[in-house]
Amino acid sequence: MYKYACLYTKPKSTREEMADQQRKIKIAIVGGGIAGLALGAGLKKKEHIDFHIYESVPAYKDVGAGLALHMNAIKAMTLIGPEVRQAYFSKAMEMGEEDKEMSTEVILAHGPNQGELVAELGKAKGRKTVSRADLLDGLLELVPKENISFNKRLEKIEESNDGVRITFKDGSEAHADCMIGADGIHSATRSFILGPDHPATEPKNHDGWQIYRTMVTSEFAREHINPKWTRTVPILLGPRGHINTIPLNKGTRLSAGVAVRGVKFGTKGEVPDLDPEMYKDYSEDAQRIVRLVARDTSASWTAADHDHAPTYYKGCVAMMGDAAHASMPFAGNGAAQALEDAAVLDHLFSKVTEPDQIGAAFSAYDATRRPRSQAVVDLARKFGRIYAYAEDGMHEDPTKMKQFFGGAAGFTNNADLQRQNDDAMKLFESAIGGDANGTNGLAPEGVEVV
């Protein structure tokens, strides 16, 4: 049995009444980021589902965030539909590059083994970088306009015996059989599910990470840094921060960053300036990137992640993506985990034909996705420590580092996501007593319904 049943109390009495309930399952998705849009793109193909996405911002704006999607992200998109994968490819790359293998190269930029390549992360054919804004654009094209509203910031969630009532800050309301919160790291859905005072509700920056970052044109970057780093995705490691570049917008812009651990923030959270003088013992290539970033750090941000939530749902309300498991960006798998959530939920809802099956679907989702996505949160923290030369002398032993990254890549990148979907479905089917063949819950003729 699943932990939290929805509050549905409607008795199943006569066949007539049941037939009357054969209306569509109404799903409110709160949050139109990568997770919410990808799920919407899958749900729109299901005849028995009626969904609506409520996004808090009036329109998407390009904050210059770059993504280098790993193989598991691409596999998850493919499971939702080839058109979802295609939305990514058409935004992320020039034609004809789909067969080229790409990876994030992790290289030591400090110490006796300077220059050594210790990992190739997220190796995949057709892997390319994409700006978050471009990917959102691509996914948005897959969702019918009438099924998404902007400027809807979540204010209140109430459960009742006929579903979920959602109130937005603008005073408007929505009602649905269930709600899926994909409302990001500062999720109000998370606060509803865990409680506002739960220790895991608020994101935390345990290790004092600050990501100093700049956005420049690739042309400008080529004048200041080794041009090689305007075409690939390197992570250059050292004890006072790791340095990273990501080409964006089909190679016309570059996001360059220095991620520093253990930053001494001011009492009001003031961020100290990035001082290139501190990087004099790093490789020349790394130093040049630091100097480029220090010119203009206005695109910087303070990283945080979530401690483990004990559950990803309560009643008919679930959370997904960064709302459920925001992670540090260091393992390059945050968006991938959001897409895996979407793939599993999309698959489960293909068989949810009655409102009283929603609890079983959320329970199966929670059991399948929570352990794996939380392991990725832990893994990303560990990546950060290793990148910062802060994990038991690992940087002194590149072989050990290679083994670690190889194992980690196996866990994130090479996961069998078809199997993950199948496992979730098996849990769902056993919870609802086997009626998961899309028979819309009506017993065959002649069978007594009790």
Residues in contact with ligand NAG by the rule CB under 6 A? 44, 49-51, 144, 146-147, 429, 434, 436-437
User: Are 196 and 189 contacting, i.e. CB atoms less than 8 angstroms apart?
Assistant: no
Which segments within 37-91 are labelled E, that is strand?
Answer: 49-54, 66-68
**Residue 40 C-beta: closest distance to ligand NAG, Å:** 8
Taking the complex as a whole, the smallest distance from the CB of residue 432 to ligand NAG amounts, in Å, to 9
CB of 39 to ligand NAG, least distance (A): 11
Q: Pick between residue 338 and residue 432 the one whose CB is nearest to ligand NAG.
A: 432
Q: Which is nearer to ligand NAG, 23 or 125 (CB)?
A: 23
184, 320 in Cβ contact below 8 A? no
Q: For residues 331 and 380, is the Cβ–Cβ distance under 8 A? A: yes
Q: Which is nearer to ligand NAG, 146 or 448 (CB)?
A: 146
User: How deeply is 115 buried, as exposed, middle or buried, from its count of CB atoms within 10 A (0-12, 13-18, 19+)?
Assistant: exposed
Length of the chain: 450
Q: Which residues of 64-90 are buried (b: 16+ CB within 10 A; e: fewer)?
A: bbbbbbbbbbbbbbbbbbeebbebbbe
Task: Quote the least distance from Cβ 44 to ligand NAG, whole Å.
Answer: 4
Closest approach of ligand NAG to the CB of residue 55, in Å: 15
Least separation, in Å, of the C-beta of 50 and ligand NAG?
4
The least CB distance from residue 289 to ligand NAG, in Å, is 46
Say which residues have a Cβ less than 8 Å from residue 173's Cβ, sequence separation at least 6.
165, 166, 167
Nearer of residues 172 and 302 to ligand NAG, judged by Cβ: 172
**Minimum CB distance to ligand NAG smaller for 40 or for 359:** 40
> What is the rounded distance in angstroms from the CA atom of residue 382 to the CA atom of residue 333?
13
| Residue with Cβ nearer ligand NAG (40 or 247) | 40
Contact 140, 149 (CB under 8 A): no
Which lies closer to ligand NAG via its Cβ, residue 133 or residue 427? Answer: 427
Tell me whether residue 142 or residue 215 sits nearer to ligand NAG (CB atom).
142
What token pair was written down for 95?
């034609």
* Burial class for 170, CB neighbours closer than 10 Å (0-12, 13-18, 19+): exposed
Query: Which tokens sit at 440?
Result: 């819309």
Residue 445: CB atoms within 10 A of its CB come to 6
Q: In this structure, how many other beta carbons lie within 10 angstroms of the beta carbon of residue 432?
A: 21
In the bound complex, what is the minimum distance in angstroms from residue 340's beta carbon to ligand NAG? 22
